[in-house]
Amino acid sequence: MRLRACLTACVLVLSATVVSSASAATQTATSGDVTATYTFTGTYPNFSNERLSISLSGQVFYDEPVTAELCGTQCAPGSTSAKQPSVQVLDLEHDGQPDVVLDLFSGGAHCCWIAEVFSFDPGTMTWALTQHDFGDPGDSIVDLDHNGRYEFLTADDWFAYEFTDYAASGLPIQILTFSGRRFHNVTRSYPKLIAKDAAVWLKAFKGMAKQHYTDSVGLIAAWAADEDLLGHSKLVNRYLNQQATAGHLNSGLGLGEPGGKKFVANLKRFLRRHGYLG
């Protein structure tokens, strides 16, 4: 399920309308003196003539076909719904200058939601593009601290398929911000949300007891990632070793994916490589 949403604070600054027919649609979002208009024709999965224009104080400074590194010119709109349009205008960097966010979908099983952020450069009077692939989880733009600053709430797609199939994979919480035309991982700044996420994965792992933990490694991997972010590495090591000894760390793939202590060793290397361990 697509995670994209906008909280009340966003609704206050975002005015979006969608005009559509059977084959053509126009989505418009406005904040302050910035207006973004996204147009396309067709229905899923066959879209064409996608175009984005951005105006500032009524003057158009950007008007180009929509493309993305991940899907070229074959991207689909992130949403064709009037309730959740693909285009938003909001001040991501909290600098008084609204940014334009366009959500796209690459198509395919378990792939991939792309966010394109257009930032205004007053020096050149152009809109600079930054892209981020949120993978299968997608993202939700929220104001977690209720301070007018926005975060991209998502999950770490690197965990998908890493230790088991997608359905049995756990994807730990991930939180990003956007500034200086870059996305920044700030997940560690939200320990309460991390702890809440860890509790979900641990409950799911323990819930597999009746199934004799037949495919449990994906869930416990997400729990370990959350707990390592919280600095609980000793607890993680102790618990994983206990579960390995008890025979509870198993992969149901049947494709040679290791369980037990080999899984624990692989998980540690993976978590270190992706910044969960120092």
Beta bridge partners of 132: 115
Question: CA triplet 142, 144, 146: central angle to 5 degrees?
Answer: 100
Report the alpha-carbon distance of residue 155 to residue 137 in Å, rounded: 6
Please give the structure tokens belonging to residue 55. Answer: 């105006």
Peptide bond preceding 45: is omega within 30 degrees of 0, i.e. cis? Answer: yes
Question: CA triplet 257, 259, 261: central angle to 5 degrees?
Answer: 130
Q: What is the pLDDT of residues 85-136, one digit of tens each?
A: 899 999 999 889 999 999 999 887 778 999 999 999 988 999 999 999 999 9
> pTM of the entire structure?
0.88
Q: What is the pLDDT of residues 23-70, one digit of tens each?
A: 679 999 999 999 999 999 988 778 899 999 999 999 999 999 999 988
Residue ranges covered by each domain of the chain: 8-140, 156-278
Report the alpha-carbon distance of residue 155 to residue 142 in Å, rounded: 14
Q: What is the pLDDT of residues 164-193, one digit of tens each?
A: 999 999 999 999 999 999 999 999 999 999
Say what the pLDDT of residue 92 is: 95
**Contact yes or no for 197/172 (Cβ under 8 A):** yes
CB atoms within 10 A of CB 130: 15
Say what the pLDDT of residue 264 is: 97
Q: What is the helix (H) or strand (E) element at residue 154, kind and residue range?
A: strand 151-155
Please give the structure tokens belonging to residue 3. Answer: 């995670």
